[in-house]
Amino acid sequence: MSLELSYLLWSAVLAFAYVTAQAGAYRLQNGIVEVDPNRDIQPPADVLTGRATRALRNFHETYPVFVVLVIVVEFTGRSGALTECGTVIWFWARAAYLPIYVGGLGLVRSAVWAVSAAGLVLMLAGILI
C-alpha cells in the first residue's frame, strides 16, 4: 500500500475524531436526554460546541480535495516525493488543527490551516509535474 493510500485510510480515523469532537461538545452542552432527537429546535451553541462545529465544517471543506488527490495519485501512479510530502503535511496539520481550533488559538489555527493547504498544493504539484 502506498504512503498516500495509507494516510487516506488513517484520514478516516481523523474524520471520525472531528465528528466525535463535535458530537461530544454538543452533548456536553445539551445533555444526552434533554436534546431534541430530531434537532428541530437547537439552542445556540456555546463556545466549545461552536468551535468544534466550525472545525468539523472546515475539515469537510478540504477533505474531499485530499481524497480526490490521493485517488488521482493512485490511479495515475504519480506517487513521488511531492505527493508523499504533501500527504504527510496535510494529515498532520489537520490532526493538529482540531485541538488548536477547539482550544481557541486563533492565529495559530490560521497558520496551521495554511500549512494543510500547502500540503494539498504539494500533492497537486506532484501530480502535475
Domain count, the chain: 1
Q: What is the pLDDT of residues 29-52, one digit of tens each?
A: 877 766 666 666 677 888 999 999
| CATH number of the CATH domain containing 112 | 1.20.120.550
pTM of the model: 0.90
Residue type, 81: A
Q: Does residue 69 contact residue 123 with C-beta atoms inside 8 Å? A: yes
d(CA 34, CA 52): 20
Q: Which domain holds residue 106?
A: 3-128
pLDDT at 39: 64
Q: Which three cell numbers stand for residue 18?
A: 472531528
